[in-house]
Structure 1
Amino acid sequence: MDAHRNAFYEQTPNGEVAAERVAFGTSGHRGRAMERTFNAAHIWAITQAVVDYRGKAGYKGPLFLGLDTHALSRPAWECALQVLAANKVAVHIEKGQGYTATPLVSHAILQHNANSDVPRADGLIITPSHNPPEDGGIKYNPSHGGPADTDATGWIEARANEYLGRIDEVARVSLEEALAHATEFDFTELYVSNLPQVIDIQAIERAGLMLGADPMGGTALPVWQAIMMRYAISVEVVNATVDESFAFMPPDHDGKTRMDCSSPAAMANLLEIKDRFDIAFGNDPDADRHGIVDANGLMNPNHFLAVCVDYLLSHRPHWPSSGDGALKIGKTLVSSSMIDRVVAAHGRELYEVPVGFKWFVEGLHEGYLGFGGEESAGASLLTRDGKPWSTDKDGIVLCLLAAEILAVTGKTPSAYYQELTERLGTPHYKRVDTACSAEEKAAFKKLSAESITAKTLAGDAITAVLVKAPGNGAAIGGVKVTTESGWFAARPSGTESLYKVYAESFKSEAHLNELIESAQALLSDVLTP
């Protein structure tokens, strides 16, 4: 990985070239050093823009700075720290300059800001999530502790690109001065000691379960080690290796190295030894995602989300369940409608939002969403007494929730899900990618409910056509069409010449394929210029 690190410092992005400019997507700015999309200049510019944003927002408290185990994360962390120190920003870094998982940064921000008498804090996290080893990433979490919304990221992106064109104006100090300026903070101790607030740790201890944890070479490692030290829980960390090349990883479905804990191919190492454990789990490098493994293998993320919702609505007696304060359940509109059915069975309200965890942040922060989850294995929840825990995705807590479910109910999550299907029906779900021209991608932005004139979809009457999410009224960036027995949603890729079709049928696999074919035909008609 030395060549990538060298390129990080030596390659200079051209701010006049669109592909080399700062670009914030749903999870911050990501790129590669050798492609001049993730270099020191990007980090200096983004960090200075965040400093400016803090001034605009009136934040005068500490900035919590975290990083994961990718090869470019430490160099980027050092660059960010140098700019923050030069700007006299109080910075909190992990004790011993260690790695810091995304949910730990979010939790630390929330804990600090829970005291209304102190200046507001925020955070930066250096991570490209589960992306390949050569990738780099940086994301910003404002004072609410979760991913920044599009207003904030748009402002930071624009300001960062201004700095990219005059990078010498960004103030920096030496790394030695920057480290002396920073305050070491025990993120892990704070998080692990507070876990009983959100998970029934005692139930897991009483059950005497044997748990397996695969940090996949990432930031979950010190957290699982601290959990073993603090609580009477038997956890075997199946791989304690931290290797920036992630050479121990099995290739993903496409042959690439990708630390995706929702992928059976990437989770092959843990799946081979699953029978040693009552339940096991994996986390991606920044520990914001979860992969749940029991006797039946790796659980589909959609299935586990449905189980979590049903369990939480049955086992969180202090969560308000009636009246104006009744907690809602959040899901993205491409997540399984099994969640809709579970929520309805409990007489609760669903909060359906576009793709992106940022749409759950306000509800988790303000305490009106008990749970928010997305089909890509990211979720978070309130504490057992209904207070904010993490407003970013928390893969570690979701793994512990799986253990709690087994400890309390005696059912593995996959057995629990099977019982749900017996009561509520069996969904069949798939995502497919379809080639898409630039003109067709542009046509997605112009879609309205009136654009869909068809009355039926795969033989069933269309019950709704959505271009805005029902929960918060935000634009989907595509379209969702529903019937009584199924649905499809389509949205263009932000980086590739294709659009994604998500579909689900409660009839059969054959009906699911018919749904997808009908969706593609329908879209071909409405997207044709």
Structure 2
Amino acid sequence: MSSNSFSVNVVKTKPYLDQKPGTSGLRKKVKVFTQENYTENFVQSIFDAMPSPGAKDSTVVVGGDGRYYLSEAVQKIIKIAAANGVKKLIIGQNGILSTPSLSNIIRKRKASGGIVLTASHNPGGINYDFGIKYNVSNGGPAPENITDMIFTCSKSISEYKVADIPDVDLSKISIMKFGDFEIEIIDSVIEYVTMINEIFDFPLIKSFLQKHPDFKVLFDGLNGVTGPYGRSIFVEELGLPKSSIDQCVPLADFGGEHPDPNLTYAHKLVVNVEKNKIDLGAASDGDGDRNMIISHDWFVNPSDSVAVIADYAVEAIPYFKKSGLKGLARSMPTSASIDRVAEAHKVQLFEVPTGWKFFGNLMDAGKLSVCGEESFGTGSDHIREKDGLWAIIAWLNIIAHESLVQGKLVTIRSIMQKHFLKYGRNYFSRYDYEEVDSDAANRMYSELKAKMSSELVGQSFGSEKLTIAKADDFEYTDPIDKSVSKNQGLRIIFKDGSRIIVRLSGTGSSGATIRLYYEMYEDREDMLMMDTQEALKPLIDISLKITKLEEHTGRKEPTVIT
């Protein structure tokens, strides 16, 4: 026996060369993770790459979204953590923690970091996806220097360490000790709900719901991790009827559905909102960091959603009344709607690459309060991850506040119309072409990149305003640590500010995903409430001509339009 009251076995292994973490960790099919030593190699590489002072004597938070293979992965992590000298693991009950909740616990407990077991919005089940992500001590995703180190370790690994301890009962809230090694199983929901209560005006929201009993709310958990959180907040805290929540039991295969809160994959919510005349419909994704806001007569584009939240933040939400608005930010492909809010509130606007970790440095430096990505991610400096339920409660708080100010019930549509009249409207849409042949996608992207500045600039498409003024590959210098991120997406910018963005996504588990983003600004009052696809049709036609997407890939239609 070792001094830790358990023996440590050293297992010989061979490296896998495909364990490079993407923007949100390592995502692969379950059958990849269940290969011999595949999961063990990657977990050992995380502990080997942990920033100073390293894994020994550290506290690490562990949890995931309930998808298939979660329990087995947690047991492996426990044994490898113990063998590597980790002092304590904090694990969600049944291995479950939403990504925002895990970030909150890292920060609240001053943990060294966390291991998030999720493939986010990707489908789950034995034939689908699993993922492992490492979060650092600020609660946010590991920056590139650490994910690069994890990858380096994974390519040269020859052995991993595993403690000879039994599997742990994850179902009971408890504290267990094996020598000096401690495991604490915690309630997955309670600490997050406490945090949310401290951020928003729950007395105002409750009063609003009591005053307007006909105001209908429907939250769809998409059979993901946020189901229990949604039940606790909407039914137990706010007193809404049980009919206000749907699909709120986490399932290992998400009920056979794709747990992505958009108009395509959250189709059941879209139908129910329309059918039952729901005033605030909302969904979150598999691990709880994304959100969708919809009503029976309006879909809130994620780019507009973060702009509205930012605009009302100090006025309506107690957290920001106290802290003020330090700055705003968006990912590069996200529309410039929030830019106009930043200008009006006289705060700095940051445009960063896709990936939530880029917001973290700004938040830690006290320069950023509210931020968002067009990919249904919205959040603030309360944690270092995007937070789906936070965004949903923010909208409920804003509706309650605006209804009190106006002395009548306001709708999502009326809030958006007021916003557009004040700031103008950035029509925006994203077309995803999923599981495209990787070679074809890379060929299309490379050819477009080669002609960006030399051939495209100056080209005109029917009018002066649709003349290309700038074409480049977005590059970002972090204003805090001065790190440089290159090759972040191809931007085609027209003279009137309209944009076409082309990116290859790194969040899928197979093939390539081509993403085309379209944005057009309009401030004429009679043109503010048009159909989005109709408004953007000229840009869509131009993009297909420039990229030759169908010629390269054979795809005539996108998989998903948002």
Q: TM-score, normalised by structure 2?
A: 0.76
- The yes-or-no answer on 1:129 pairing with 2:126 is no
Partner SS, residue 262 of structure 2: coil
Q: 1:395 to 1:38 in 2, by over 3 A?
A: farther
Q: Aligned residue for 1:140?
A: 134
| Root-mean-square deviation over aligned CA pairs | 3.3
Q: Which of 490, 510, 520 lines up with 1:505 in the alignment?
A: 520
Deviation, structure 1 residue 235 = 5.7
Structure-1 separation of matches of 2:462 and 2:168: 65
> 2:526: which partner in 1?
none
Q: Conserved in 2, the CA contact under 8 Å of 1:378 and 1:394? A: yes
SS at match of 1:339: helix
d(CA) in 2 for partners of 1:171 and 1:229?
43
Superposed displacement of residue 523, structure 1: 5.1
Secondary structure of the equivalent of 1:76? Answer: helix
Residue in structure 1 matched with residue 237 of structure 2 by the alignment? 231
Look up the match of 2:334: 335
SS of the residue aligned with 1:195?
Answer: helix
Show the 5 A alignment for 1:342-381: 342-381=341-380
C-alpha distance in structure 1 between counterparts of 2:513 and 2:191, whole Å: 43
1:212 aligns with 2:233: no
2:518 alignment partner AA: A
**Using the alignment, how far apart are the partners of 1:424 and 1:147 within structure 2?**
33
Of 390, 393, 405 in structure 2, the residue corresponding to residue 397 of structure 1 is 390
Query: Which residue does 1:486 correspond to in 2?
Result: 498
CA distance in 1, matches of 2:138, 2:53: 12
Change (3 A) 1:450 1:341: farther
Letter in 1 for 2:489: G
Distance in 2 of aligned mates of 1:347 and 1:471: 22
Counterpart of 2:10? none
Summarize the Cα distance change of 1:298–1:522 in structure 2 as closer, same or farther, 3 Å threshold: closer
Q: Which residue of 2 aligns with 1:9?
A: none
User: How many residue pairs align between the two structures?
Assistant: 483
Cα distance in 2 between the residues matched to 1:289 and 1:150: 22
Contact map agreement 2:456 2:471 (CA 8 A) in 1:
yes
Q: Secondary structure at the match of 2:425?
A: coil
Go from structure 1 to structure 2 and tell me whether the alpha carbon gap of 1:438 and 1:407 turns closer, same or farther (over 3 Å shift): closer
1:170 aligns with 2:157: no
Which of the residues 133, 144, 163 maps onto 1:150?
A: 144
Match of 1:48 among 37, 44, 50: 44
Gaps of 5+ in 1: 1-12, 114-119, 250-256, 322-326, 383-388
Once residues 380 and 315 of structure 2 are traced to their aligned partners in structure 1, the CA distance between those partners, rounded to angstroms, is 14
The Cα of 1:475 is off from its aligned counterpart by 2.5
2:486 equivalent in structure 1: 475
Residues 500 and 539 in structure 2, CA contact (< 8 A), matched pair in contact too: yes
Correspondence list, 1:101-500, <5 A: 101-113=98-110, 121-134=112-125, 135-163=129-157, 166-167=158-159, 169-176=160-167, 180=176, 181-208=182-209, 211-227=217-233, 231-234=237-240, 236=242, 237-247=245-255, 257-269=257-269, 271-272=271-272, 275=276, 277-296=278-297, 298-312=299-313, 314-315=315-316, 316-320=320-324, 327-382=326-381, 389-410=382-403, 411-432=410-431, 436=440, 438-442=442-446, 452-454=456-458, 456=460, 459=463, 460=465, 461-469=467-475, 472=478, 474-483=485-494, 484-494=496-506, 496=511, 499-500=514-515
The letter for the 1-side match of 2:493 is: T
- What letter corresponds to residue 378 of structure 1 in structure 2? G
For the residue of structure 1 that corresponds to 2:123, the secondary structure is coil
Per the TM alignment, residue 101 of structure 1 is displaced from its structure 2 partner at its CA by 0.7
- Which has the larger displacement, 448-457 or 403-412? 448-457
Partner SS state of residue 182, structure 1: strand
Which residue of 538, 541, 557 corresponds with 1:514?
Answer: 538
Query: For 1:367, what is the secondary structure of its paired residue?
Result: coil
1:432 is displaced (CA, Å) by 3.6
Question: Over residues 140-187 of structure 1, what are the superposed CA-to-partner deviations in whole Å (9 max), with x where a residue is unaligned?
Answer: 101111111111111112212333xx35x4324344369744122345
Does structure 2 conserve the Cα–Cα contact (< 8 Å) formed by 1:445 and 1:477? no
Q: Secondary structure at the match of 1:352?
A: strand
Shift of 1:199: 1.7
